Structures are given as C-alpha cells and as structure tokens.
Structure 1
Amino acid sequence: MSSAEFKTSKTRHDSMEKKMQKKATALKTRIDKLDKFTPPKHDKEIKFIDPAGQQFIKKTVLHVRKMDVKFKKKTLISQVNLSLKYGEHVNIQGVNGSGKTTFIKQILASKDYFNQSISIGYFDQLNQNLILTQSVWQNSIADSTQDNQVVFHVLSALGLLAFKDRLAMNLSGGQKVRLQLAKVLLGSHQVIILDEPTNYLDLKAKQALITFLNNYPGSVILISHDVAFTNQIRGKTYFIKNKRWLDSLSVQTFSNRNQGNLMDLKYRLDAMIQNPDTDIDDIRKIKQQIDDLTSEK
C-alpha cells in the first residue's frame, strides 16, 4: 500500500470510529435517562410474637359450659359448650340475629369464662378504642410488643402506612375501623376476638389478614359472613342453627334429621290441602314449620 493509500485508509477508519463512539455516547445517555429497575422484593412471612405465650402453651384460655345466650330474656342459643386452648382458632357462623355477637358480649361481660392471666383483644366496628389526639403510628404501637417491621407490614396491608403520621381524629370512618383492627392485631394479647373484620377491607387487605390470622400465635375467635374468607382461616367452625350450638359433624346430623322432618311435613301438608274438612289454621301451622326448617338449611 502506498503512503497516500495508507493515509486515506486511516482517515476513513478514524471517521468510522468517531461515529461509533458518538452513537455509543448517545445510547449511554438514553439508558441513563431511563427509570431505574429494581427487582421486586418478596415479602417475608410475617411472624407475630407473644413474649408471654410460652406460659400458656397447652393451657385452656376459655371455657364455656352449658351457657344459654340471651337477649332481653329471650334465648338465642341454648347450651353452648366451648373450650379453647392457647393457640386454637375457632370460626362462628350463623344468620343475622342468631346470637353470634350477643354470645361474644356475654362472655366478655364475665371474666369467669376466661383464664384470669390472659389479655384479650376485641374488635368490632362500633367498639373503637382509639386515642384521637395521637397518630396512626402511636395508636398502633401503644399496646404492642411487635417489632417495627411487623407494624409497618400490618399498616401497609390495611392501607394505613401512608397516613402513619396523621392524627386518628383526622381519619375517615373506614380508616378508623381499619386502625382499630390493626391495633387489636398488634396488641399484646393471648386471645383476639374479631367480629366482622372484613367489611372495610379490599381484596388485598383480606388476603393479608388471612395470612396474619393463620400465623397468629395466640387464640382467635372469628365471626364473619364472608364464607370465602373464613374458608381460608385455620381452625374449627361452629354453627348456630335453630338456637343450637353445633360443630361440623352435628350440623350434618342436624341437617339430615331436618330433611326427614321436612319431607314428612310436606306430605302432611299435601294431604291436608286435599281434605276439604281441614282447618285453615292447621294448614298455616304446618306451612310455618316447613318455612322454619327451610330457613335452617
């Protein structure tokens, strides 16, 4: 290659290199302007702690025997038997007016049913034990022995973390209910009682609450109409039907017996309707019995 050809080739090579460097610099500038990508963090399973829990292992924290649940002298549930050891969870189900909340209030009204050494946390939507002049964070940790990470996680799951510095008096009604729930979950209790805790929760918060309750070291008494929610909570389920306190096996027996009674009543009703001499009041009585049994299924 002649000297002139070499110079021409080198100039062309230098020009291409400069262009490539310019493109590389432009590309780096574009990359630097892009939003930084952070790999998603997987939340660790929240572990509640109960420093006093060891002394209650295998001990009975609640014992109810042959108790009649009454409201204004009217019996709502007959002969309730419930024995609960530390760490056991129970769900209570029944139609509106069957006596679920009245049962809870009745056992809370008399400490004789509970182990005298335990602490009880109680949540319902009307029983808000908040200090309105304190912040969300201050209310949450007031009775808590949980570390800050657990407190952060609970508040985040219930949609309250963004308001942790806001005074409780400045929260909406739904936020106050959720803060009361957080306060009960984070409290230093051996037994927590939750009466319809999901009414102000979205799907994400419900899923978080399922995890919290299933990991809760103490005893849980849960009342909820949300069957999809309660089906994911560990523990034994009790049902209130026709003023009876029934477990799952008893419910099946009760339902089978009712089915037999229902068929018998319908047969008698058909026979009475076809008989022109039947008293109309007798027909109404049979019809009412059928309606009562149908509502209990």
Structure 2
Amino acid sequence: MLLVENVNHGFGSRVILEDVTFRLKKGEHITLVGANGEGKSTFLNIITKKLMPDEGTIRWANKVSVGYLDQHTVLEKGKSIRDVLRTAFDGMFQLEKDMLEMYDKMGSATDEEMAKLMEETSTIQDTLELSGFYAIDSKIDEVANGLGLRDIGLDKDVSQLSGGQRTKVLLTKLLLESPTILILDEPTNYLDEDHIEWLKNYLQNYENSFILVSHDIAFVNSVSTVIYHMENGSITRYKGNYDDFQNMYNLKKRQVEQAFVKQQKEIKHLETFIAKNKARVATTNMAKSRQKKLDKMVKIERPRDKVKPEFRFNEARVPSKIVFEANDLVLGYDEALTSPLNVQLIRGKKIALKGVNGLGKSTLLKTLIGKIKPFDGKVELGDYLEIGYFEQESSRDNSNTAIDEIWNTYPSMSNFEVRQALAKCGLTNDHITSQMKVLSGGEAAKVRLCKIMLRDINFLVLDEPTNHLDVDAKEELKRAIQAFKGTVLLVSHEPEFYMDIVEDVWNIEDWTTKIV
C-alpha cells in the first residue's frame, strides 16, 4: 500500500530521519512509537506529502485513499457539526446529483440515448445502495454518538467548539470517510475514557490499514499488529503489539551490548599484541597481520541510552487548611455549563477530575484558580497559595526558543542554569535552541513543566499533562507527582496514569448541565 525508501530529513543541523525505509501492507494496523522529538509527526507529514523529504522516495499504491487526522484543518463558521460530517459523503452526493441530471435528460432523449442513460443511472443507483448512501444520517449518528458528539449537539455551529470538540468532529468525519489508509496522530489526546474505548473497538475491527501515533500503551497494545520504532533517526519494524516490541527491543539491545563488550575485548587484545610485537623482527609480520584484521573490523556501536527526564516539584511553605472553597459556583461563558456547585479542597489532597470532553473541566480549573471569573457564585482561595498551573496546550505561534521561554520567566538565571534545568527535563541542546512552535507536542510540554519546576509551589494544577508525553516522561511525571507533598488537582483521560496518584476522583458529569 505504501513504500518509503531511503528517506532523509532534517531541520538545520538536526537530523530527524536518516536513510529511513518503511512499508505498509494491506490490512496492517501499524503504530509508530518512540521518544518525544524522534520525528513521528514529521514522518507522517512526509508520507502525506505535506512536507518534502530532503532525499528519498514515497510510493503509494494506485487508487489508495488516505485520510489524515490533521488538527489544523479550518472549520467553516456558520456550518453545524452535522453539515461538516455530511461532507464525508460528498462523492456520493455528487453521484446522486449526476443521476438526477440524467433523469432530467430522459424527457428529451432518443431511444439510443435513453438506453445509455438508463444503464448509467442503474449503475449509480447500485453504487449508492451498496455504499449505504440512503442510511447516511443513521451512520453519522452512530459514529458521532460513539465519539461523544451527541452530548455537544449535532446542530451546534463548529465555530463555537473547543479545541478538543473540534478534534472530535475531524476524527468523526475521517472515520465516516472510511479511507483505504487511516493516519491518526495521537487521536486519544482529546477523548475521554468511554470514547477511547469506542475508538479502540472501532480500530480493532477496521478492515483497512491504519498508521497510528500514540503514547497510550494500553490503547496501542489493543489495536496494533505491527510496531515501527523510531530512534536516533532510524526506524525499525517489529511484528506484534507494544509489549511484543518491548520484549524484542530489549533482547536485541542486550545482544548488541554483549557483542560490543566482546568486540572491545578482542580489540584490546589485538592492540596489545601489535604494540608488543611490531618492533621485533621475528614477530613484525604477525603484528602487521593483526593490524590488518583490526583495520578491516566493522566496529559495533554501543547502544545509546535515551536521555530520560528527571522531574521534581519544589515545595513552598504550607498554605491554609482549605485550599479553595466554591459556593454555588456556576461555570460558563455566554451560558451556564453547570448547576450550582459547592465543593472544597483540603490541603494535601490529590484529586483527579474526569468527565466527557466539552463539559468544562479546563474551565473549572481556570475558574478555581482565578484565571477566569465564575458565570455565577464565587470561589474563595486559601492563604499563602503558590500555584503551579500546567495548561493543556501551548501557543502554535510561539517564536521564542525553549531557552528564551524559560529566561523570560526567570531573567535572573544564568545561561548555564537555564540549560541545566531544560536538560534535566530530557531536552537536548537541539531542543533548547529550537523555537517553541517547531518543537513536538511532547518537547513543548517538557518546557512548560520545566517552568513550573523552577519555582516553589504548594498547589499543583495539571490540565491533561500526559498529552504528547512519551512513555518515560509519563512514568517520571507520575513519580514526581506522587513524591510532591503539596495539593494536586489534575485532569486526565488516562486512569492508568492517575489512579495510583489520587485519593479521590471528581466526575464533572455529576455537576454539568447539558450543553445547548
């Protein structure tokens, strides 16, 4: 279905892909895995021709339709969600239009023309029936309900949607198009648990091929039949799911390490022999022979361990016993999103906030910490609070480099201190000197986490912190939150991440009203 050969690509001096070869067979369910910044999204942009590689060839099979979940697609103001979803069937609507025009021509057609028109309309009619054209609305309802769009309302104007809701619309449209090849870049980031489960079942039963990028291991394990691992500019194919890949990868790494150690011993032995014998007439030929063997030897490179982040939240002085108290709090902007809410958070508690997307989890966080005003009611914050707030997404137009981003917030730090702080978060010199807008989602998230970790806090507020983070970074973040002695309020769609951290889960669905 797709053949990628000898692709090279880089940004400036930074090599992203080096002599990469990749193949996609019919019906394969492939997941691309790898640490943040290894080039997964770049690779997707290259195979979908949004980006030209520096070198190499990309060959798609004939008559392949490719559907790519592109979160930057513009949705036209004035169109409802249903209007956008119906565009997935534009090809069928065009066929119906052609058929109706042929019926109009029949009134003045000759016998010969009539026979031809009857044949063509019959073919179109069969195509529409086989494609389920006359059940489009029920198909739209089925997929839209599965991904939670019914809760928003299919008649809602797309210009009024949040980022997460917008992504859901684009994903639903893509699934309705049912392309030969489906390409999904971190589709679970904006889905809650129920809708992730629905998408998992959908992909498990998907007859066509797909290429997925995801750091959600449970999800990857359940839908993948092939793993491609991206590391140090190369890409390696493994048969099976993520667990199978991990087992084979670790075995291969151990074998290379053992071969490296063995070869190093042999090199040392040869070098010692040559040094001792090259000056003696009786043994000089033997020494030259060993030197030739040494020169011809293909050196094994020791497997390089990826830089792993180290996260640590610095604790400020102890705040008052009640961190915040909400009295008859109603969330909303132009309209109320919740019924009156009365809730308080006690110092030292760690709470997860869950619920269907679009029902106000981010709004609740911002309201509770005073970033936006309540629609009604009030929030009283405790004394001596030092809040560390991690926002779900960063600006796409941020031209600051990672080092400037930290320096602008902490101007008294030295260049060395800023670099050291970013390096601790798992960022290399290439990342540190790159603009925020060209960093991967995971790299940008590490910069934002770094900002929080450079100040003393006692109340940590995290809005979907695991979005985009690779497996190692997620594990380290989990450990750091567990070690933090302050109060924590976090939003996450991954129970396997937060259930070991929190002592209670607040479900916003218990408080929300229906979105009109």
Task: Report the TM-score when normalising by structure 2.
Answer: 0.38
Q: By how many angstroms is 1:105 displaced?
A: 0.8
Q: By how many angstroms is 1:218 displaced?
A: 1.8
Q: Does 1:201 align with 2:147?
A: no
Kindly provide the CA deviation profile for residues 73-113 of structure 1, in whole angstroms up to 9, marking residues without a partner as x: 53223232222233222100001000101111112226942
**Root mean square deviation, CA, Å:** 3.0
Cα distance in 2 for residues equivalent to 1:240 and 1:253 = 17
- Alignment partner, residue 19 of structure 1: none
Cα distance in 1 for residues equivalent to 2:26 and 2:158 = 32
Cα distance in 1 for residues equivalent to 2:156 and 2:259 = 59
- Alignment partner, residue 167 of structure 1: 157
- Alignment partner, residue 82 of structure 1: 22
- Alignment partner, residue 64 of structure 1: 4
- Alignment partner, residue 119 of structure 1: 65
8 Å contact from structure 2 (residues 75, 159) kept in 1: no
8 Å contact from structure 2 (residues 33, 227) kept in 1: yes
Which residue identity does 2:193 align to in structure 1?
L
8 Å contact from structure 2 (residues 67, 179) kept in 1: yes
Unaligned runs of 5+ residues in structure 2 are 90-130, 240-247, 263-300, 309-471, 473-516
3-state SS of paired residue (2:31): strand
Q: Does 1:157 align with 2:142?
A: no
Cα distance in 2 for residues equivalent to 1:82 and 1:204 = 33
Q: Residue 179 of structure 1: which of 154, 169, 176 is its match? A: 169
CA distance change for structure 1 residues 154 and 72 in 2, over 3 Å: closer, same or farther? farther
CA distance change for structure 1 residues 73 and 143 in 2, over 3 Å: closer, same or farther? farther
Q: By how many angstroms is 1:188 displaced?
A: 4.5
The structure whose RCO (Cα within 8 Å, separation 6+) is larger is: 1
Cα distance in 1 for residues equivalent to 2:58 and 2:6 = 14
Range with greater deviation from structure 2 (253-262 or 202-211): 253-262
Q: Residue 213 of structure 1: which of 174, 198, 203 is its match? A: 203
Name the larger-Rg structure.
1
Q: By how many angstroms is 1:191 displaced?
A: 1.0
8 Å contact from structure 1 (residues 70, 102) kept in 2: no
Kindly provide the CA deviation profile for residues 42-66 of structure 1, in whole angstroms up to 9, marking residues without a partner as x: xxxxxxxxxxxxxxxxxxx211122
Q: Does 1:140 align with 2:85?
A: yes
CA distance change for structure 1 residues 294 and 195 in 2, over 3 Å: closer, same or farther? closer
3-state SS of paired residue (1:231): helix
3-state SS of paired residue (2:200): helix
Among the aligned pairs, what percent are the same residue?
30
More helix by share: 1
Q: By how many angstroms is 1:294 displaced?
A: 5.3
Range with greater deviation from structure 2 (195-204 or 61-70): 61-70
Cα distance in 2 for residues equivalent to 1:228 and 1:181 = 20
Residue-pair matches, total: 213
8 Å contact from structure 1 (residues 92, 237) kept in 2: yes
CA distance change for structure 1 residues 86 and 141 in 2, over 3 Å: closer, same or farther? farther
Q: Residue 251 of structure 1: which of 232, 249, 269 is its match? A: 249
8 Å contact from structure 1 (residues 67, 81) kept in 2: yes
Task: Report the TM-score when normalising by structure 1.
Answer: 0.63
Q: Residue 305 of structure 2: which of 269, 272, 293 is its match? A: 293
Cα distance in 2 for residues equivalent to 1:164 and 1:262 = 60
Which residue identity does 1:293 align to in structure 2?
D
Kindly provide the CA deviation profile for residues 116-155 of structure 1, in whole angstroms up to 9, marking residues without a partner as x: 4222111143x22533321111111212366433321211
Which residue identity does 1:151 align to in structure 2?
I
Q: By how many angstroms is 1:295 displaced?
A: 3.9
Q: By how many angstroms is 1:292 displaced?
A: 4.2
Which residue identity does 2:214 align to in structure 1?
S
Q: Does 1:108 align with 2:98?
A: no
Q: By how many angstroms is 1:251 displaced?
A: 2.8
3-state SS of paired residue (2:198): helix
Cα distance in 2 for residues equivalent to 1:148 and 1:256 = 54
Written as runs of structure 1 = structure 2, the 5 A alignment for 1:211-250 is 211-248=201-238
- Alignment partner, residue 92 of structure 2: none
